[in-house]
Amino acid sequence: MGKINAKAFGLACGVLWGCGMLILGLIDAASTWGDAWGEVVASVYLGYTPTILGSIIIGIWGFVSAGIWGFILAKLYNKFSK
């Protein structure tokens, strides 16, 4: 089996999750559809409010957290697949 590039995998996870969080934050800001979701996310990611600025904040938080976890996951995969 091949090795996973940990930096590239972490970056891909960060971009995907960060964009997803940004989009869901914008949906929550624009409608009442994501109210329950917004409450849960606000308890996990500091600074989130259902506004455009809050959506940007959660996009950044999502990018950073998923990037770190993706990097760790790829490193563990490479270590255990030997």
Q: What is this structure's pTM?
A: 0.89
Our count of domains for the chain comes to 1
Token pair in block for residue 51: 């506004």
Report pLDDT digits (tens) over 32-63: 887 888 899 999 999 999 999 999 999 999 99
Decide if 32 is inside a domain. yes
Class of residue 33 by CB neighbours under 10 A (exposed 0-12, middle 13-18, buried 19+): exposed
CB contact at 8 A, 18 and 70: no
Report pLDDT digits (tens) over 7-40: 999 999 999 999 999 999 999 999 988 788 889 9
Decide if 1 is inside a domain. no
Token pair in block for residue 44: 């996990």
Decide if 71 is inside a domain. yes
Q: For residue 43, give its domain range.
A: 6-80
User: Residue 37 has what pLDDT?
Assistant: 87
User: Residue 58 has what pLDDT?
Assistant: 96
Decide if 50 is inside a domain. yes
Helices within the chain (DSSP H only): 6-30, 35-44, 52-80
Decide if 68 is inside a domain. yes
Decide if 66 is inside a domain. yes
